[in-house]
Amino acid sequence: MIIPEINPQHAEIIPVQRRRLNTRSGFIAVKPNCSIQSYVPAISALMDLKPTRVIVSTYQAISGAGKTFERWPEMVDNVIPYIGGEEEKSEQEPLKIWGHIENDQIVPAAAPIISAHCIRVAASDGHLATCWMSLDKQVSKEEIIARWQAYEGLPQKEHLPSAPMPFMQYFEDPSRPQTRLDRDFERGMGISLGRLRGDSLFDWRFVGLSHNTLRGAAGGGVLSAEFLCHAGYIPFK
């Protein structure tokens, strides 16, 4: 399970997988669930500050269910406070991505502990998340924003064709990011962040936004394939 900007090193498990499957060329690599794209990159830029606890609520567009308003008129002017299986994925998949390879296995990270609430909202595309986090190390608001804006993964450094440049943007305007206005940032492959501020229970809270059918689905799959080609796991023909 790979987000090329965050855990490209997990591709090193492919030779182990090939031995297990008894194949010389094929392998299985997946992209994570679209619901985590709006907050996992932001937290990934702060992992050396040791995040300990995360609460996230995702507000997910109807295209994530493969629907349009024409095909799902019940969603017009509506919110559904349950999406089957999403909360489990939102809590478990980030730990796999932040994990490490040990004894030919990917061992999930032990922290941060994540609690998620996933809600379906009346938006056509774009998953928005409100996120709270506690960090073991102190940091200023300015440093967090600077880290987000400067963050580069392998796709940016190697200028892969589908890589967003930059990966993340931050809005000072407290009314942004907005789903309709900002989901297409960097051709729908970038992450938009805003409303970073302190919190009375956690250290920080912020809002994140990603395009679920581009960064979260097809585009994320294409970027992963570009990375795997670049790393030599998919041969050029």
Which residues have a catalytic role annotated? 34, 127
Contact between 60 and 121 (Cβ < 8 Å): yes
For residue 145, list its beta bridge partners. Answer: none
CA dihedral 175, 180, 183, 187 (to 10 degrees): -130
In eight-state DSSP terms, residue 212 is: T
Angle 179-183-133 from CA coordinates, rounded to 5°: 75
SS3 category, 114: strand
Angle 71-59-134 from CA coordinates, rounded to 5°: 165
Q: To which residue do tokens 């890589």 refer?
A: 163
Burial of 135 (0-12, 13-18, 19+ CB in 10 A): buried
Contact between 215 and 33 (Cβ < 8 Å): no
